Structure 1
């Protein structure tokens, strides 16, 4: 079983089953109207269904917020807001059928959703728990486990590549070698490069600031570390890497850029790994002077 598959099973099945079991065991909410066993079965299945809807809602929210380079928390919150509408209807219908099958009775339907203060307060009370669980679970899996699904370049996640080459072999055989003439003695003691997983090599394509973290993209994948973007840029430039800052959150290696285009009012460059990086108005002139097609 690969690491990606294991993380997916833990997040999409293991975690909601655990949450559902805890809620069912405590006969939370609707569970008070059910026997203990039925409460556990209901909450486990309901949590699994809701978790998938939350995921779909966040997948919808992510591209909607992409033009603003929104943080992960914003995507998760908007995704859950979008998902809360179908989730509410789905879980109410499921509760009706489940209660009828277990007790031969009927439960009261949810009132219609109306934009009133009373409904807003009811929504806040009902969804405070799901928001806390969804946000904290995703942040833990994203920051600690390294299971990224809603970031712009999640599909370029790190992968095993077999035997790890030596430092010199990394520089010579990299599918996208470092530009300029880096000082290899400096690389050996570089705080930034010393924390890179060896399998990623040193063919750095781009850096991206994510809150207090830094995502490093190489020609073999990416990783997330605790580091400041400005410090990383200064360090790479001192070693001999040739690149330019194109956005408050992005630095790119000059030779990694393969094309440029305009999407709406947003200038972007595409890198050799397929990653599209925004070029802000503030840094556009600097990028042009560096030879980027913007």
Structure 2
């Protein structure tokens, strides 16, 4: 089977957009299910209530994941363990917020007159919130790192291969990290090992998508579970020719065609058709690739 690999940035659903879309869908489903805790509210009120709840919960989980990736010991954990920890911590932080919102709207169903310790109330609410919240968080991320991302991109886009345990397969000789080479087209770095073999290693650009990084090569693109900042550090240490031209974008020097402007904003035109925005604050870095 022949894959048509599109190296441009069109027809892709980024992780932030996917997360926002998921929040709306989950909130809509809960609203339609009409749980007993919000039956007294109108459908419009329920929709707003659950949108706020789901948004707060997933944003806290996302924040925890970004924070955990900064710690080397946790970063070395399996993907599922990292996500499970960030999901649990996010749920734990959400519990006090959820309790406060319920009491603010008069939705607290507590009718027991006996006083309860705050930590017992916290643990009770956490036991109720954590299982479904953690399942949703793992499920949303599983759509990405298990390859179903193809459902949200143009037909034929490459996806990262995974083994039976759900981790990315790096057994291909092309993906082994045997040393660091700075020669374009043959780079050997840890984050490159997460790419599917059909993409090759001729890097064109990197783009940050929260705790994911979208990697563009000469023949295609893939979204990998890897911190953008860590990938940039690896490239700098290896001496790979390129520069970070935006807070969320890095480009390879040998693939830059020219700088252009559109609606008063500057961007770099890459030789694959990809357009990368540039930041005014990174003028010095930009001169390295032009």
Q: Please classify the TM superposition score into its range, dividing by the shorter chain length.
A: 0.3 to 0.5
TM-score by length of 2: 0.47
Could you say which structure has the higher helix fraction?
1
TM-score by length of 1: 0.47
User: Highest CA radius of gyration, 1 or 2?
Assistant: 1
Structure with the bigger RCO (C-alpha within 8 Å, sep 6+) is 2
